[in-house]
Amino acid sequence: MSLKELTHEAHKNAETQPFVKILFSGKINPKLYATYLKNQHPCYEILEVCAMPHQLLHGLIDIRRAPSILADFQELWDHEKDGDPQILPTTEEYIKYILSIKDDPKKLMAHLYVRHMGDLAGGQMIAKRVPGSGRMYKFENPEVLKMAIRERLSDDMADEAIVCFKFAENIFKDMMELVEFTDE
């Protein structure tokens, strides 16, 4: 079985959350989407920073998403009007979790696989439907990047990839609690 097959159920559980339907709807409230971005940014930032000493990003041209996520957030959020967006409990848990595995390159690579391959695949459809520029989902050469990531994967990363999918699922659940807040 491939890593994709081994993680299929966890992937399905994450991508079938109601918040994902809102992302794909083309009607997501800009403030809600900006809050989502604000919570994605520290997750990607800590993961990418922890991956660097292990050279996990080396040779993966254009893989870093944190700067693009921050730019997307800043495009949509009015700090003077709206203050600071809510940081979700799952975001805080994820940051602590990544710090707890920062010395394990294989586990970090599993998280890079889940997050970044998702942006390279489904993110391309989301980019057309969200407010703002959608820089988070824009890559210079997505097919080359996908192949380069796949070359670094192994089936023994499945358990950790499932952990990452569970965090994604929980962030989507946390976001659903904010839908009413933004009049979605």
The pTM assigned to this predicted structure is 0.95
pLDDT computed for residue 82 by the predictor: 86
* Res 63: pLDDT: 96
CB 167 within 8 A of CB 90: yes
Amino acid 30: pLDDT: 96
Amino acid 22: pLDDT: 96
Overall domain count for the chain: 1
pLDDT tens for the chain, 184 residues: list them: 899 999 999 999 999 999 999 999 999 999 999 999 999 999 999 999 999 999 999 999 899 999 999 999 999 999 889 889 999 999 999 999 999 999 999 999 999 999 999 999 988 899 999 999 999 999 999 999 999 999 999 999 999 999 999 999 999 999 999 986 544 4
DSSP 103: T
DSSP string, 69-114: HHHHHHHH--HHHH--PPPPHHHHHHHHHHHHTTT-HHHHHHHHHH
How long, in residues, is the chain? 184
Of 130, 148, 170, the C-alpha closest to 31 is 130
Supply angle C-alpha 63, 67, 69, rounded to 5: 95
Say if CB 3 and CB 161 are below 8 A apart.
yes
Q: Kindly state the DSSP code that residue 131 receives in the 8-state scheme.
A: S
Q: Which domain holds residue 146?
A: 3-182
Alpha carbons within 13 A on the beta-carbon side of 167 = 24
CATH number, domain of 131, equals: 1.20.910.10
Cα–Cα nearest to 119, from 6, 40, 28:
40
